[in-house]
Structure 1
Amino acid sequence: MQFTDLGYFTRYTPDGDNPHNIQFAQNDDGQDFYDVAKAQVLGFFFLVNERGDVVGESSDITALFPVDMRVVSAADAGALQAAYQSETRLIWDGASISPHMPTRQEFQASALNRIDQEHSKFLLELTGSATVEERDTWPTKERAARAIAAGTATAGQQAMIGYEAEGSGIDASTLTATIIAKAEAFQALTGMAAGLKAKAKTAIMQATNDAIPIDQIAAAIDAVFAEITTQTSAAIAQWKAQAPND
């Protein structure tokens, strides 16, 4: 595949009147962008920032307006266009555009960030549709339920559980037992989630260490997340099976 560097474009103001306030840009050789565009008929055009990242593409060069950007054309770049549209990071190295090969550190940072996201999703699954405000009441309700079970509840704690039980149409003792059982199950699953997170991070550090060839890291990371998915699904199934009903 052949690439043509059409230059790095910056904004400029041409001589003469500009009643329509048209924005102009010219490349390193002083060529106006619109003049360059007129000579380009076929191919794909890529917009490249100062770091060399491809940040835009079009089969119509006039759809791109490069200010502090480079424009690179290619006669046949369907595969690169598809890669860009799939959010693959593309890099211009001064001679060609190709998919970016992450460094070992980038692989590691991305995977560790994904673990944090998966952990958050796990906790969200455990809490279901409960709002933040509702979840904030859980520790207070648990303390009240445990105090009632221990015979040390205050009048306020007894009223809290009593009103909810009455509204739910169940006995206060049943609600007390349910709250305690749910709290213990949730605590166990929260601990399991933290354990899975720590285990996954250790596995990622091993999958990205210097002993692993760089071209094998992506597969090693995929294997870690496949195992995480299996263990997470099992944990959620366990939670749903053991969690007491309201």
Structure 2
Amino acid sequence: MECGFFHPEIGYWQTTDEPSAQIRADYPEGTVEVPMPPGPDCLWDGKAWVPDPKSRDEQRAMALLRIDEVHAGFLRSLTGNATVEERDTWQPKVVGAKFVRSANDAKIEAEIARLNADHPDALHDLATLVDDVGEDLAAIRALADTVLRLSLEYKRLIGKASGLKRRAKETVTRATNETVPVEQVRPALEALFVQLSTEVDAAVAQWRGQTDA
């Protein structure tokens, strides 16, 4: 049976078998038997195992890196993990949608005719809509409205993501300030990430509600 021991100067060690009384007698004075640690990142505080309090700078660096990861995950969720090639079609769709919204039916039909004739000056951005729904004007206008609505919402949420990232990093800076007792740093950072996760989940749910509409 494994046994754990601790000495103030030597630190913690454990044996693979229970040591005999003779072996225990050879341990340095001040050695005490302690429970096995619950995990690798723990320290014996003289009474119990406690989480290893990483330095203020370490906790700050780890929290800032985690915020960047949360922000990147937020953006991936907004794009539905779209490929670069897929995202490259979004801006032409917006341009085509703006043309549709500003043009009358005759102008749209004329532009479609130019596309079909491979006219060099045709508005190829319009083709990104026609390719999706065909040449029916009502369908084209409906798609254009959807594209513009989602474009505005996407830009709003991109701004929200940037704001969440900025505020979270400001909170980390305050929570890891030298004036804050080090034992209060970890709880403050944990609370931050709970709140950040809640806000990100709500924003992603709102976006999915828009795209499913």
- TM-score band (shorter)? 0.5 to 0.7
Query: 3-state DSSP class of the match of 2:36?
Result: helix
The 5-angstrom pairing of residues 37-48 of structure 1 reads 42=17
Equivalent in the alignment of 2:194: 226
Contact map agreement 2:95 2:126 (CA 8 A) in 1:
no
1:185, 1:243 within 8 Å by CA — same for their partners in 2?
Answer: no
How many angstroms apart in 2 are the aligned matches of 1:143 and 1:206?
43
User: Once superposed, which parts of structure 1, at least 4 consecutive aligned residues long, lie more than 6 Å away?
Assistant: 75-78
Structure 2 match to 1:34: none
RMSD, aligned α-carbons:
3.3
Larger proportion of strand = 1
Cα distance between partner residues in 2 of 1:129 and 1:222: 27
Q: Report the Cα offset of residue 129 of structure 1.
A: 4.3
* Pairs aligned (count): 170
Q: In the alignment, which residue of structure 1 is the partner of 2:100?
A: 148
SS in 2 for 1:83: coil
Could you tell me which residue of structure 1 aligns to residue 23 of structure 2? Answer: none
Match of 2:205 among 234, 237, 240: 237
Compared with structure 1, are the counterparts of its residues 204 and 180 closer, same or farther at alpha carbon in structure 2 (3 Å cutoff)? same
Letter in 2 for 1:83: G
1:83 aligns with one of 39, 58, 68: 39
Q: Which has the higher contact order (CA 8 A, sep 6+)?
A: 2
Rate the CA distance shift 1:238–1:99 in 2: closer, same or farther, 3 A.
closer
Aligned to 1:25: none
Q: Return the match for 1:131 from 83, 100, 104.
A: 83
CA shift at 1:230, angstroms?
Answer: 2.0
1:158 lines up with 2:129 in the alignment:
no
| 1:76, distance to aligned residue in structure 2 (A) | 7.3
Paired with 1:172 and 1:120, the residues of 2 have a C-alpha distance of 33
Per-residue CA shift, 1:49-80, capped at 9, x if unaligned?
xxxxxxxxxxxxxxxxxxxxxxxxxx978733
> Equivalent residue for 1:178?
146
Q: 2:68 aligns with which of 86, 91, 116?
A: 116
Q: Distance in 2 between matches of 1:228 and 1:102?
A: 22
| Alpha carbons 1:111, 1:221 under 8 Å: kept | yes
The equivalent of 1:65 in structure 2 is none
Percent identity of paired positions between Structure 1 and Structure 2? 32
Q: Distance in 1 between matches of 2:81 and 2:146?
A: 18
Q: Deviations for 1:187-234, whole angstroms, at most 9, x for unmatched residues?
A: 111111111111111111111101110011000111111221222222
Identify if the C-alpha distance between structure 1 residues 41 and 209 changes in structure 2 by more than 3 Å, giving closer, same or farther: closer
Partner of 1:140, secondary structure, is helix
TM-score normalized by the length of structure 2:
0.67
1:144/1:167 CA distance change after superposition, 3 Å: closer
Structure 2, gaps ≥5 residues long: 19-31, 44-49, 112-121
| Change over 3 Å in CA distance of 1:89–1:187 after alignment to 2 | farther
